[in-house]
């Protein structure tokens, strides 16, 4: 017999899977519990752009029928949410933009197709900063998402809807994307686990591109073990994506085994400078002490080119965005404004279809790529990107894992940084270098400051996701930050 809705939605993904397999609950009951939770808290949190209740119920019924017939699959009957930048056949994919408000893809992204093949039930599409450009989910063309821990504050971005949905118990797990911190930063601000895999570990086919050399798909969940379960389904080569790595996919759940004795943890001093809130630093330092108590050795290291990360990112990412977003011209699909001439149609469509932040980045990128400025800006940024990667390579000769704050601050208030783009961009100062180097990074909850969550970022060498997940899981085994829930019994 299933428990109450609130009890069911408190289960981790693995706990829910065990109960489904034991026939203690059905996929339909579990799905209905989450749909009921969404109905109760969505008016306050607003994590979803599209709720696919009918489709979810049909998928849950199918999962129960398959289980009754003796079938099983890694995610059979488990509800999930998807960031609205991933193509879903027959379900609109807006990217948080008026430009794609009515766009319904004819195919599934590879990540979505792999989850579906593993038996997942899709609850809906989550809110995001427009075309993944932002750090607060306030740049959505439709409405801002609110942080479940304090609805006057942001959930982070650009995957704020997915992070908030998991934190508010509207889904046990969700997919996001991370171009400069868009999984890890909202995971930290919402008090959940967020994993950005190695560049190429997860296929980008069907992900609407922002910056193609930086984008990566990854999971949100309440535990590292749940992220391991999802990554095992998501990862692997894909003939539709030439950048998807051909390396074999390990059993990430099996890689969680083992303690931390002998683990070498490096702490980059550059991540503990000005701009880091004292409460955040204290929580991260306490987490490092906990890792030492679990058997790791912790020592300082330098990543000297870290200070250039934000500047490099805001040349490379907008440059790639300016090329990727050129396709939205009102001709083939998406938003279109009728005009007397083709050129006028381009101008009016893009002026009305894109929001302010997207326009800002398109202009930055186009300028950086323009004749006479390419060498001075874009080419130089790529060279410094190589230096940033070199810093990490040298650090991993001495250390197995690097540990830093995920965000220099806790969640800031809605509207606080909207008129100050630089302050908003600095929200990702701790996460951006990881994307520039193509490395895996993970954020795990490590405490609270004035009731707001703090995240510890773990960084590893390429394809070390299993190691990061093991460290995070051992840390979660020793702490209870992930067992604390916002608005657990609230009725809105």
Q: Is 135 in the active site?
A: no
The DSSP element (H or E) to which 383 belongs, if any, is: helix 380-395
Contact 167, 187 (CB under 8 A): no
User: In what order do the strands lie in the sheet containing 121-126?
Assistant: 48-51, 121-126, 79-83, 173-177, 217-221, 193-196, 441-449, 452-459, 401-405, 264-268, 297-301
What does the pLDDT read at residue 421?
87
CA distances from 257 to 224, 261, 347, 359, 471 (A): 12, 12, 56, 47, 10
Sign of the alpha-carbon dihedral angle for 85, 90, 91, 97: positive
Q: Residue 485 burial by CB count (10 A; 0-12/13-18/19+): exposed, middle or buried?
A: middle
Nearest to 226 by CA among 469, 479, 478: 469
CA distances from 481 to 294, 298, 475 (A): 17, 22, 10
Half-sphere exposure of residue 389: CA atoms within 13 angstroms, side-chain side: 15
Q: Which two tokens stand for residue 398?
A: 């001495």
Q: Residue 267: beta bridge partners?
A: 300
What does the pLDDT read at residue 274?
86
Task: Please state the separation of Cα 48 from the chain's center in Å.
Answer: 15
d(CA 160, CA 15): 25
Q: Which two tokens stand for residue 280?
A: 């955040």
Contact 76, 67 (CB under 8 A): yes
- Number of residues that this document lists for the chain: 492
User: Which residue in the list 26, 83, 97, 443 is annotated as catalytic?
Assistant: 83
Q: Is 182 in the active site?
A: yes
User: Which residue in the list 97, 136, 162, 182 is annotated as catalytic?
Assistant: 182
Task: Calculate Rg over the CA atoms of the chain.
Answer: 21
Q: 0.85 exceeded by the pTM? A: yes
Contact 332, 346 (CB under 8 A): no
User: Which residue in the list 97, 136, 140, 158 is annotated as catalytic?
Assistant: 158
Q: What is the DSSP letter of 197?
A: P
What does the pLDDT read at residue 4?
54
478: left (phi over 0), alpha (psi -120 to 50) or beta: alpha
Q: Is 158 in the active site?
A: yes
d(CA 165, CA 9): 11
Residue ranges of the domains in the chain? 5-304+390-483
Q: Please state, as a whole number, how many other Cβ atoms lie within 10 Å of the Cβ of residue 459.
A: 29
- Domain 5-304+390-483 class, CATH top level: alpha beta
d(CA 130, CA 231): 25
Contacts of 485 (CB under 8 A, 6+ apart): 10, 167, 169
Task: With H, G, I as helix, E, B as strand and everything else as coil, classify residue 123.
Answer: strand
d(CA 214, CA 199): 7
Contact 400, 265 (CB under 8 A): yes
d(CA 342, CA 115): 41
Q: Give me the helices (H) in 124-250, please.
A: 160-167, 184-190, 224-234
Q: Please state, as a whole number, how many other Cβ atoms lie within 10 Å of the Cβ of residue 242.
A: 9
Give mean pLDDT in consecutive 10-residue pieces for the chain, a chain of 492 residues.
70 98 98 97 97 98 98 98 98 98 97 98 98 98 97 97 98 98 98 98 98 98 98 98 97 98 98 95 98 98 97 97 95 91 94 96 95 92 98 98 98 95 91 98 98 98 98 98 77 44
Contact 104, 93 (CB under 8 A): yes
Task: With H, G, I as helix, E, B as strand and everything else as coil, classify residue 271.
Answer: helix
d(CA 330, CA 333): 6
Q: Residue 138 burial by CB count (10 A; 0-12/13-18/19+): exposed, middle or buried?
A: buried
Contact 149, 411 (CB under 8 A): yes
**How close are the terminal C-alpha atoms of the chain, in Å?**
27
What does the pLDDT read at residue 332?
84
Nearest to 459 by CA among 482, 430, 481, 479: 430
248: left (phi over 0), alpha (psi -120 to 50) or beta: beta
């Amino acid at each position: 017999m299933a428990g109450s809705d609130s009890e069911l939605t408190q289960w981790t993904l693995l706990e829910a899977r065990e109960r489904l397999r034991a026939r203690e609950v059905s996929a339909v009951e579990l799905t209905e519990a989450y749909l009921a939770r969404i109905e109760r808290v969505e008016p306050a949190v607003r994590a979803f752009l599209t709720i696919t209740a009918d489709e979810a119920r049909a998928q849950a019924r199918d999962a129960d029928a398959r289980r009754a017939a003796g079938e099983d699959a890694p995610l059979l009957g488990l509800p999930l949410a998807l960031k609205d930048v991933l193509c879903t056949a027959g379900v609109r994919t807006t990217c948080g933009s008026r430009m794609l408000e009515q766009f319904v893809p004819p195919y599934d992204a590879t990540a979505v197709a792999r989850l579906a093949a593993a038996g997942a039930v899709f609850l809906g599409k989550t809110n995001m900063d427009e075309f993944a450009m932002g750090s607060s989910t306030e740049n959505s063309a439709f409405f801002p998402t609110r942080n479940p821990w304090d609805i006057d504050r942001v959930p982070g971005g650009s995957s704020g809807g997915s992070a908030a949905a998991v934190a508010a118990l509207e889904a046990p797990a969700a997919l996001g994307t991370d171009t400069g911190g868009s999984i890890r930063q909202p995971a930290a601000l919402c008090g959940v686990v967020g994993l950005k895999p190695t560049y190429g570990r997860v296929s980008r086919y069907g992900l609407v591109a922002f910056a193609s050399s930086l984008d990566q798909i990854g999971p949100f969940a309440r535990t590292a073990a749940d992220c391991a379960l999802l990554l095992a389904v998501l990862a692997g080569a894909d003939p539709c994506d030439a950048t998807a790595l051909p390396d074999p996919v390990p059993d990430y759940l099996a890689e969680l085994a083992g303690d931390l004795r002998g683990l070498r943890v490096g702490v980059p001093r550059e991540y503990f400078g000005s701009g880091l809130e004292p409460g955040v630093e204290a929580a991260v330092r306490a987490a490092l002490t906990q890792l030492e108590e679990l058997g790791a050795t912790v020592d300082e290291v330098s990543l000297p080119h870290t200070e250039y990360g934000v500047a490099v990112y805001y040349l490379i990412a907008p440059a790639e965005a300016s090329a990727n977003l050129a396709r939205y011209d009102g001709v083939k699909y998406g938003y279109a404004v009728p005009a007397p001439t083709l050129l006028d149609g381009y101008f009016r469509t893009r002026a009305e279809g894109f929001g302010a932040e997207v326009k800002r980045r398109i202009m930055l990128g186009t300028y950086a790529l323009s004749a006479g400025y390419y060498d001075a800006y874009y080419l130089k940024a790529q060279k410094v990107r190589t230096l940033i990667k070199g810093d990490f390579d040298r650090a991993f000769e001495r250390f197995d894992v690097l540990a830093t704050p995920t965000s220099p601050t806790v969640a800031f208030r809605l509207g606080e940084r909207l008129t100050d783009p630089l302050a908003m961009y600095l929200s990702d100062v701790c996460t951006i270098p990881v994307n520039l180097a193509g490395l895996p990074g993970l954020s795990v909850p490590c405490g609270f400051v004035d009731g707001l969550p703090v995240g510890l970022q773990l960084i590893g060498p390429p394809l070390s996701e299993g190691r990061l997940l093991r460290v995070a899981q051992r840390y979660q085994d020793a702490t209870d930050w992930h067992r604390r829930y916002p608005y657990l019994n609230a009725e809105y």
